[in-house]
């Protein structure tokens, strides 16, 4: 068992089974043994890779998008460029470099990072050292927001803990993490049904309650509606609320059992974009999208960017640029990034429709 596993087993023996959200929060964020707290998990040598690590073009297009959004906001100065869960800092670095072409944008902004991992904070500091900016770090999003803001989050909501409920003949019961007869982690159900859920479903259906993600989205939406700006969320998930267990664990680029190695495997969930949009709207923001990552990046000029960069590149670099870009927008299979990933913006309702969202809006369907 992993060191965190031993600690969690002790906790379960003392206090009883853990909710899925508590298990997830500790597996990812335990101060000493949490997955993100002790290592840099990205890249070929790590456990998984993300869009900004695949291609510089991802961050560059989002940087240009942000600069355009800033102009549409009336060029507020100063304003905050905020990133939630910035990983290695690559997205911010690429955004800042691309944003240089829009006059006044860089001069008007200050950089703010919401990151709980000390290891990744150091990594972000190193990545941004040459940027000429002086980023400020925060544990909590509430503390990072003040005045007009552009808030960007790639693969952040998927790392936030959620709870799960299963429909049984006695009603909805909470899915819990306990120990089996041999002392291994196992899923079980709460003894008492959860009376507050009234959702028609078939027996065995799993309902996920992403409270932390919904709170994050609502905080962003409230802020931009009151003080101006936009929140941009990019993640994998569906635009129609469905049932099902989406908890997954990844290690060395493959799926593993989410209960097998707490602290040593990445744990994520799929994002329910219909509910995120609903929460954003309820908090006063206008909802743009969701659109597929493919449609968003193509609308922002991915192909033109590849062509422009390739003209100045040696053949191997040009080939890498083309391969990276096509991976971001591939949409042949449901698991391809361009199809699986969605982009949702929550904006100050005074803003017009933002670039990338005018076409291909996916029909969102919230739960009954």
Instruction: Examine residue 127 and tell whether it contacts ligand SAH (CB under 6 A).
Output: no
C-beta of 90: minimal distance to ligand SAH in Å? Answer: 6
Residue among 91 and 166 whose Cβ is closer to ligand SAH: 91
Please tell me the distance from the alpha carbon of residue 331 to that of residue 294, in angstroms, as a whole number.
7
Count of residues that interact with ligand SAH, criterion CB under 6 A: 19
Q: Which residue stretch of 149-157, 174-182, 217-225, 354-362 sits at the interface with ligand SAH (rule: CB under 6 A)?
A: 149-157
Question: Residues near 19 by Cβ (< 8 Å), separated by ≥ 6?
Answer: 163, 174, 176, 177
Residue among 40 and 303 whose Cβ is closer to ligand SAH: 40
Mutual angle of helices 211-227 and 273-282, in 10-degree steps: 40
Judged by CB under 6 A, which of 4, 17, 27, 52 binds ligand SAH?
52
Residue among 55 and 116 whose Cβ is closer to ligand SAH: 116
Q: 291 in helix, strand or coil?
A: strand
Instruction: Examine residue 156 and tell whether it contacts ligand SAH (CB under 6 A).
Output: yes
Q: Which residue is closest to ligand SAH by CB? A: 85
Give one DSSP letter per residue of 220-252, joined into a string. HHHHHHHH-EEEEEEEEEESB---S---EEEET
Please tell me the distance from the alpha carbon of residue 74 to that of residue 246, in angstroms, as a whole number.
40
Residue among 123 and 275 whose Cβ is closer to ligand SAH: 123
* 338-367 binders of ligand SAH (CB under 6 A): none
What the block records as the tokens of 349 is 């309702």
Residue among 52 and 148 whose Cβ is closer to ligand SAH: 52
C-beta of 320: minimal distance to ligand SAH in Å? Answer: 18
Residue among 42 and 165 whose Cβ is closer to ligand SAH: 42
Question: Residues near 54 by Cβ (< 8 Å), separated by ≥ 6?
Answer: 324, 327, 328
Name the DSSP letter for residue 365. B
* 17-46 binders of ligand SAH (CB under 6 A): 28, 36, 42
Give one DSSP letter per residue of 330-355, joined into a string. --SSTTSHHHHEEEEEEE-TTS-PPT
Judged by CB under 6 A, which of 19, 56, 154, 246 binds ligand SAH?
154
C-beta of 216: minimal distance to ligand SAH in Å? Answer: 9
Q: Which residue stretch of 13-21, 79-87, 94-102, 306-314 sits at the interface with ligand SAH (rule: CB under 6 A)?
A: 79-87
Judged by CB under 6 A, which of 53, 60, 94, 261 binds ligand SAH?
53
Judged by CB under 6 A, which of 26, 73, 114, 207 binds ligand SAH?
114
What the block records as the tokens of 37 is 């707290």
How does 247-281 read in b/e, with b if 16+ C-beta sit within 10 Å? Answer: bbbbbeeeebebbebbbbbbbbbbbbbbbbbbbbb
Please tell me the distance from the alpha carbon of residue 43 to that of residue 88, in angstroms, as a whole number.
10
Judged by CB under 6 A, which of 5, 59, 63, 87 binds ligand SAH?
87
Contact present, 153 and 231 (Cβ < 8 Å): yes
Contact present, 65 and 146 (Cβ < 8 Å): no
C-beta of 181: minimal distance to ligand SAH in Å? Answer: 33
Instruction: Examine residue 120 and tell whether it contacts ligand SAH (CB under 6 A).
Output: yes
Name the DSSP letter for residue 285. P
Q: Using CB under 6 A as the criterion, which residues of the chain lie in contact with ligand SAH when the complex forms? A: 28, 36, 42, 50, 52-53, 85-87, 91, 114-117, 120, 154-156, 159
């Amino acid at each position: 068992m992993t060191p965190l596993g031993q600690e969690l087993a002790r906790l379960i023996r003392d206090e009883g089974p853990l909710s899925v959200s508590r298990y997830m929060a500790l597996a990812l964020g335990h101060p000493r043994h949490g997955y993100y707290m002790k290592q840099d998990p990205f890249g070929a040598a790590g456990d998984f890779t993300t869009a900004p690590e695949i291609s510089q073009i991802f961050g560059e297009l989002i940087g240009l998008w942000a600069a355009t959004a800033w102009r549409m906001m009336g060029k507020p100065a100063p304003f905050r460029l905020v990133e939630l869960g910035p990983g290695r800092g690559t997205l911010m670095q690429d955004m800042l470099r691309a944003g240089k072409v829009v006059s006044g944008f860089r001069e008007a902004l200050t950089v703010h990072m919401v990151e709980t991992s000390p290891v990744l904070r150091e990594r972000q500091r190193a990545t941004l050292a040459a940027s000429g900016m002086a980023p400020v770090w925060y544990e909590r999003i509430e503390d990072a927001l003040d005045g007009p803001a552009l808030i960007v989050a790639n693969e952040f909501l998927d790392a936030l803990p959620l709870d799960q409920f299963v429909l049984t003949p006695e009603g909805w019961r909470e899915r819990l993490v306990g120990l089996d007869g041999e002392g291994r982690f196992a899923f079980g159900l709460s003894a008492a049904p959860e009376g507050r859920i009234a959702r028609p479903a078939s027996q065995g259906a799993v309902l996920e309650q992403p409270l932390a993600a919904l709170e994050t989205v609502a905080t962003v939406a409230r802020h931009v509606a009151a003080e101006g700006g936009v929140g941009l969320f990019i993640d994998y998930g569906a635009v129609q609320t469905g049932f099902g267990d989406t908890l997954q664990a990844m290690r060395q680029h493959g799926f593993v059992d989410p209960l097998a190695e707490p602290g040593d495997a990445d744990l994520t969930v799929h994002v329910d974009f219909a509910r995120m949009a609903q929460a954003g709207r309820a908090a006063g923001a206008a909802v743009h999208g969701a659109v597929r990552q493919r449609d968003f990046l193509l609308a922002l000029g991915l192909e033109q960017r590849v062509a422009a960069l390739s003209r100045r590149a040696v053949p191997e670099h040009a080939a890498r640029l083309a391969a990276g870009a096509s991976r971001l927008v591939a949409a042949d299979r449901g698991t391809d990034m361009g199809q699986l990933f969605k982009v949702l913006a929550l904006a100050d309702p005074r803003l017009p429709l933002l670039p990338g969202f005018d076409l291909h809006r996916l029909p969102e369907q919230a739960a009954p």
